[in-house]
Amino acid sequence: MPTSPVTGRRAGGGRDTRERFIEAAADLLQRHGYAATGVAEITASSGAPRGSLYFHFPDGKEQLGAEALELAGARIAAALDAVFDAAPDAATAVRTLVATMGARLQSSDYQLGCPIATTALEQAGTSPRLREATHAAFVRWLEILRVGLQADGRDPAAAEEQALFVLSAIEGALLLARAARSTRPLRVVAQQLATYLAASPA
């Protein structure tokens, strides 16, 4: 009996294969970007056969990339939610967030920064579908930040603008950190943002 009594799914088949493709793609997109990631690399990393990719993703690499970005965006969103839920105020949340990202960056030999940014930059002017996927992730994160900042006492308009500022600074810090192979940009930006946020709601 090859079906799982719990999930009712065939062992190793169906939904699992599709998910494995997306997982593998998300990881590789984060490390090397879209253009530098080959579908052969993705299939090898996922363990799934090459030919199955186009069954699950008829539009090929682009569709897979878009879904991988969606997954990565959702994961960061969940992390953001958790951090803002746990922290007493926005400044603390941002500190915690950046510290977590710095630790992940360092422990991955400066490979795992933002899972969206690389693809966003290289495909912004090339693939509308991928650009939209990256944009959607950013919008989702901004909304979480805005809610967190509003809960911290800002009015809606200010919270929205500060969310944009906070995300920009963190994304830029992740970029500089990878180029420098150092977490210092993250540490400095976290400190600056905390100072800024502590001063702003008055």
Partner DNA sequence: ACCTGCGGGACTACCCGTTGCT
Partner DNA sequence: AGCAACGGGTAGTCCCGCAGGT
Residues that bind DNA (CB under 7 A): 2-3, 8-14, 16-18, 37-41, 48-56, 58, 60-62
Binding-site residue total for a copy of itself (CB under 8 A)? 50
**C-alpha separations of 92 from 85, 104, 166, 169 in Å:** 11, 18, 13, 16
Q: Say how far apart CA 33 and CA 55 lie, in whole Å.
A: 23
| Among candidate residues 173, 178, 168, the one with its CA nearest the CA of residue 191 | 173
CA-to-CA distance for 46 and 184, rounded, in angstroms?
A: 34
Residue 45 interacts with, from a copy of itself, DNA, none (CB under 5-8 Å by kind): none
Beta bridge partners, 10, equal 3
**Sequence-distant (≥ 6) Cβ neighbours of residue 52 within 8 angstroms:** 17
**Interaction between residue 118 and a copy of itself (CB under 8 A):** yes
| Closer of 33 and 201 to DNA (Cβ) | 33
Q: Considering only residues 3, 9, 15, 36, which one is a binding residue for a copy of itself as defined by CB under 8 A?
A: 36
Per CB under 8 A, does 35 bind a copy of itself? yes
Q: How far is the CB of 157 from a copy of itself (least distance, A)?
A: 11
**194 touches a copy of itself (CB under 8 A):** no
Angle at 150 between CA 147 and CA 152, to 5 degrees: 115
**CB of 180: closest distance to a copy of itself in angstroms?**
5
Of the listed pieces 14-22, 59-67, 83-91, 168-176, which binds a copy of itself according to CB under 8 A?
168-176
Select from 100, 97, 68, 92 the least CA-distant residue to 80: 97
Instruction: List contacts with a copy of itself (CB under 8 A).
Output: 31-36, 109-111, 113, 116-118, 120-122, 124-126, 131, 134-135, 138-139, 161-162, 164-165, 167-173, 175-176, 178-181, 184-185, 188-189, 191-193, 196, 199
